[in-house]
Structure 1
Amino acid sequence: MNEYLVIMRLDLITKEAQPSPEQLEGYMKMYQDWVGGIAAQNKFIGGTGLATEGKVIKPNNVITDGPFAEVKESIAGFITIKARDLEEAVSLAKTCPILFGEGNSVEVRQVSGRHQDN
Protein backbone atom coordinates (compact mmCIF):
# COMPACT_ATOMS: atom_id res chain seq x y z
CA MET A 1 0.00 0.00 0.00
CA ASN A 2 1.03 3.60 -0.61
CA GLU A 3 0.07 6.75 1.26
CA TYR A 4 -1.79 9.54 -0.53
CA LEU A 5 -2.64 13.05 0.55
CA VAL A 6 -6.16 14.14 -0.42
CA ILE A 7 -6.19 17.95 -0.45
CA MET A 8 -9.60 19.62 -0.40
CA ARG A 9 -9.95 23.07 -1.95
CA LEU A 10 -12.99 25.29 -1.79
CA ASP A 11 -14.05 28.91 -1.83
CA LEU A 12 -13.48 30.28 1.67
CA ILE A 13 -13.76 33.98 0.81
CA THR A 14 -16.83 34.67 -1.33
CA LYS A 15 -19.68 35.46 1.05
CA GLU A 16 -22.31 33.96 -1.25
CA ALA A 17 -20.41 30.65 -1.40
CA GLN A 18 -20.53 30.11 2.37
CA PRO A 19 -23.11 27.61 3.59
CA SER A 20 -25.80 28.40 6.13
CA PRO A 21 -25.38 26.76 9.55
CA GLU A 22 -27.95 24.13 8.53
CA GLN A 23 -26.17 23.42 5.25
CA LEU A 24 -22.82 23.23 7.05
CA GLU A 25 -24.24 20.66 9.46
CA GLY A 26 -25.44 18.55 6.52
CA TYR A 27 -22.10 18.88 4.72
CA MET A 28 -20.20 17.87 7.86
CA LYS A 29 -22.39 14.76 8.21
CA MET A 30 -21.71 13.82 4.57
CA TYR A 31 -17.98 14.41 5.12
CA GLN A 32 -17.94 12.30 8.29
CA ASP A 33 -19.80 9.51 6.49
CA TRP A 34 -17.31 9.69 3.61
CA VAL A 35 -14.29 9.50 5.94
CA GLY A 36 -16.05 6.76 7.92
CA GLY A 37 -16.41 4.72 4.74
CA ILE A 38 -12.70 5.04 4.04
CA ALA A 39 -11.89 4.14 7.66
CA ALA A 40 -14.18 1.09 7.44
CA GLN A 41 -11.92 -0.15 4.62
CA ASN A 42 -8.89 0.37 6.90
CA LYS A 43 -7.55 2.99 4.46
CA PHE A 44 -7.85 6.16 6.55
CA ILE A 45 -4.61 7.36 8.15
CA GLY A 46 -5.58 10.80 9.44
CA GLY A 47 -6.42 14.36 8.50
CA THR A 48 -7.77 17.68 9.62
CA GLY A 49 -9.23 20.98 8.53
CA LEU A 50 -7.07 24.08 8.35
CA ALA A 51 -7.61 27.51 9.87
CA THR A 52 -7.87 30.44 7.47
CA GLU A 53 -5.21 32.46 9.33
CA GLY A 54 -1.51 31.79 9.69
CA LYS A 55 1.94 33.12 8.75
CA VAL A 56 3.97 32.82 5.57
CA ILE A 57 7.74 32.49 5.89
CA LYS A 58 9.88 33.49 2.92
CA PRO A 59 13.65 33.51 2.30
CA ASN A 60 15.77 35.94 4.33
CA ASN A 61 13.54 35.49 7.38
CA VAL A 62 10.65 37.49 5.91
CA ILE A 63 7.48 36.62 7.82
CA THR A 64 4.11 37.97 6.74
CA ASP A 65 0.54 37.54 7.91
CA GLY A 66 -1.36 35.04 5.88
CA PRO A 67 -1.83 32.93 4.00
CA PHE A 68 -4.56 35.11 2.61
CA ALA A 69 -7.09 33.59 0.29
CA GLU A 70 -6.46 35.66 -2.80
CA VAL A 71 -8.18 33.18 -5.04
CA LYS A 72 -11.48 31.43 -4.55
CA GLU A 73 -9.80 28.03 -4.34
CA SER A 74 -8.24 27.81 -0.86
CA ILE A 75 -7.00 24.70 0.93
CA ALA A 76 -9.64 23.88 3.53
CA GLY A 77 -8.17 20.63 4.81
CA PHE A 78 -6.69 17.29 3.98
CA ILE A 79 -6.73 13.60 4.81
CA THR A 80 -4.11 10.93 4.32
CA ILE A 81 -5.24 7.56 3.01
CA LYS A 82 -3.77 4.20 2.06
CA ALA A 83 -4.30 2.84 -1.44
CA ARG A 84 -2.74 0.28 -3.77
CA ASP A 85 -2.01 2.92 -6.39
CA LEU A 86 -2.99 6.39 -7.63
CA GLU A 87 -6.07 5.03 -9.42
CA GLU A 88 -7.48 3.54 -6.20
CA ALA A 89 -6.69 6.76 -4.30
CA VAL A 90 -8.52 8.78 -6.94
CA SER A 91 -11.46 6.37 -6.77
CA LEU A 92 -11.74 7.01 -3.01
CA ALA A 93 -11.26 10.78 -3.40
CA LYS A 94 -13.76 11.31 -6.20
CA THR A 95 -16.65 10.61 -3.83
CA CYS A 96 -15.57 13.43 -1.47
CA PRO A 97 -18.61 15.58 -0.67
CA ILE A 98 -16.49 18.73 -1.13
CA LEU A 99 -17.00 18.11 -4.84
CA PHE A 100 -20.71 18.97 -4.56
CA GLY A 101 -19.73 22.63 -4.26
CA GLU A 102 -19.40 24.77 -7.37
CA GLY A 103 -15.72 25.38 -8.17
CA ASN A 104 -14.43 23.07 -5.42
CA SER A 105 -11.71 20.53 -6.13
CA VAL A 106 -9.83 17.64 -4.58
CA GLU A 107 -6.16 16.96 -5.34
CA VAL A 108 -4.60 13.53 -4.79
CA ARG A 109 -0.83 13.25 -4.35
CA GLN A 110 1.30 10.28 -3.32
CA VAL A 111 3.35 10.89 -0.20
CA SER A 112 6.96 10.45 -1.34
CA GLY A 113 8.98 7.75 0.34
CA ARG A 114 5.95 6.13 1.98
CA HIS A 115 5.60 3.00 -0.17
CA GLN A 116 4.78 -0.13 1.77
CA ASP A 117 4.40 -3.68 0.50
CA ASN A 118 1.49 -4.73 2.75
Structure 2
Amino acid sequence: MKKFLLLIREDLERMQNMTETELQADIAKMTRWAEQLAGSGNLLGGEPLEAETRYVKRSHIATDGPFAESRESVTGYMLIQAENIETAAALAASCPSVQDNEIAIEVRPLMVHE
Protein backbone atom coordinates (compact mmCIF):
# COMPACT_ATOMS: atom_id res chain seq x y z
CA MET A 1 0.00 0.00 0.00
CA LYS A 2 1.18 3.50 -0.81
CA LYS A 3 0.57 6.61 1.29
CA PHE A 4 -1.24 9.68 -0.01
CA LEU A 5 -1.83 13.15 1.37
CA LEU A 6 -5.31 14.53 0.81
CA LEU A 7 -5.29 18.34 0.88
CA ILE A 8 -8.78 19.63 1.60
CA ARG A 9 -9.47 22.93 -0.14
CA GLU A 10 -12.42 25.16 0.67
CA ASP A 11 -13.80 28.53 -0.35
CA LEU A 12 -12.93 30.84 2.55
CA GLU A 13 -15.83 33.19 1.84
CA ARG A 14 -18.28 30.28 2.02
CA MET A 15 -16.77 29.24 5.33
CA GLN A 16 -16.97 32.76 6.78
CA ASN A 17 -20.65 33.02 5.86
CA MET A 18 -21.66 29.71 7.45
CA THR A 19 -23.88 29.70 10.50
CA GLU A 20 -22.77 27.68 13.52
CA THR A 21 -25.43 25.08 12.64
CA GLU A 22 -24.12 24.77 9.07
CA LEU A 23 -20.54 24.51 10.35
CA GLN A 24 -21.44 21.74 12.79
CA ALA A 25 -23.33 19.87 10.04
CA ASP A 26 -20.25 20.12 7.78
CA ILE A 27 -18.00 18.84 10.58
CA ALA A 28 -20.36 15.93 11.26
CA LYS A 29 -20.45 15.02 7.55
CA MET A 30 -16.64 15.01 7.29
CA THR A 31 -16.34 13.06 10.56
CA ARG A 32 -18.67 10.33 9.27
CA TRP A 33 -16.62 10.07 6.07
CA ALA A 34 -13.36 9.91 8.04
CA GLU A 35 -14.84 7.16 10.21
CA GLN A 36 -15.71 5.19 7.05
CA LEU A 37 -12.11 5.58 5.80
CA ALA A 38 -10.81 4.46 9.20
CA GLY A 39 -13.17 1.47 9.19
CA SER A 40 -11.88 0.36 5.80
CA GLY A 41 -8.27 0.65 7.00
CA ASN A 42 -7.42 3.51 4.62
CA LEU A 43 -7.23 6.45 7.05
CA LEU A 44 -3.88 6.94 8.78
CA GLY A 45 -4.54 10.40 10.26
CA GLY A 46 -5.55 13.97 9.60
CA GLU A 47 -6.59 17.27 11.12
CA PRO A 48 -8.48 20.43 10.21
CA LEU A 49 -6.37 23.57 9.81
CA GLU A 50 -6.93 27.15 10.94
CA ALA A 51 -7.43 29.70 8.15
CA GLU A 52 -4.49 31.88 9.24
CA THR A 53 -1.40 31.30 7.13
CA ARG A 54 2.09 32.56 6.32
CA TYR A 55 3.72 32.03 2.95
CA VAL A 56 7.49 31.98 3.46
CA LYS A 57 10.11 32.66 0.80
CA ARG A 58 13.71 33.62 1.26
CA SER A 59 12.99 37.26 0.43
CA HIS A 60 9.82 37.76 2.49
CA ILE A 61 7.01 36.35 4.57
CA ALA A 62 3.54 37.08 3.21
CA THR A 63 0.37 36.94 5.29
CA ASP A 64 -2.01 36.56 2.35
CA GLY A 65 -0.64 33.40 0.77
CA PRO A 66 0.97 32.89 -2.60
CA PHE A 67 -2.10 34.08 -4.49
CA ALA A 68 -3.69 37.12 -2.88
CA GLU A 69 -6.68 36.90 -5.21
CA SER A 70 -7.39 33.29 -4.23
CA ARG A 71 -10.49 32.68 -2.16
CA GLU A 72 -9.61 29.01 -1.70
CA SER A 73 -7.36 27.68 1.02
CA VAL A 74 -6.19 24.37 2.41
CA THR A 75 -8.41 23.85 5.45
CA GLY A 76 -7.36 20.35 6.42
CA TYR A 77 -5.44 17.26 5.49
CA MET A 78 -5.75 13.51 5.71
CA LEU A 79 -3.09 10.87 5.35
CA ILE A 80 -4.45 7.72 3.75
CA GLN A 81 -3.14 4.51 2.28
CA ALA A 82 -4.35 2.98 -0.96
CA GLU A 83 -3.12 0.63 -3.67
CA ASN A 84 -2.46 3.44 -6.17
CA ILE A 85 -3.32 7.06 -6.96
CA GLU A 86 -6.48 6.07 -8.83
CA THR A 87 -7.81 4.29 -5.74
CA ALA A 88 -6.77 7.23 -3.54
CA ALA A 89 -8.58 9.63 -5.88
CA ALA A 90 -11.68 7.42 -5.82
CA LEU A 91 -11.62 7.51 -2.02
CA ALA A 92 -11.34 11.32 -2.14
CA ALA A 93 -14.22 11.46 -4.63
CA SER A 94 -16.37 9.48 -2.18
CA CYS A 95 -16.30 12.42 0.23
CA PRO A 96 -19.87 13.76 0.56
CA SER A 97 -18.60 17.35 0.64
CA VAL A 98 -16.86 16.75 -2.70
CA GLN A 99 -20.04 15.23 -4.09
CA ASP A 100 -22.00 18.27 -2.84
CA ASN A 101 -19.44 20.56 -4.58
CA GLU A 102 -18.54 22.23 -1.26
CA ILE A 103 -14.84 21.33 -1.23
CA ALA A 104 -12.10 20.05 -3.49
CA ILE A 105 -9.49 17.48 -2.48
CA GLU A 106 -6.00 17.38 -3.95
CA VAL A 107 -4.48 13.88 -3.86
CA ARG A 108 -0.68 13.74 -3.56
CA PRO A 109 1.40 10.56 -3.29
CA LEU A 110 4.11 10.58 -0.64
CA MET A 111 7.58 10.13 -2.04
CA VAL A 112 9.10 6.77 -1.16
CA HIS A 113 12.72 6.81 0.02
CA GLU A 114 14.46 3.51 -0.55
TM-score (norm 1): 0.81
Is there any run of 5+ residues in structure 2 with no aligned partner, and where? none
Query: Are 1:70 and 2:69 an aligned pair?
Result: yes
CA distance in 2, matches of 1:12, 1:108: 20
Identity %: 29
CA RMSD of aligned residues (A): 2.3
Answer yes or no: is 1:21 the counterpart of 2:11: no
Contact 2:29-2:97 within 8 A present in 1 as well: no
Shift of 1:53: 1.3
Report the TM-score when normalising by structure 2. 0.83
Stretches of structure 1 lacking an aligned partner (at least 5 in a row): none
Describe the shift of the 1:114–1:106 C-alpha distance in structure 2 as closer, same or farther (beyond 3 A): farther
Indicate the residue corresponding to 2:57 in structure 1. 58
How far does residue 64 in structure 1 lie from its aligned partner after superposition? 3.0
SS in 2 for 1:87: helix
Q: CA deviation at 1:70?
A: 3.1
The list of structure 1 runs, each at least 4 consecutive aligned residues, that deviate by more than 6 angstroms after superposition, is none
Aligned residues: 112
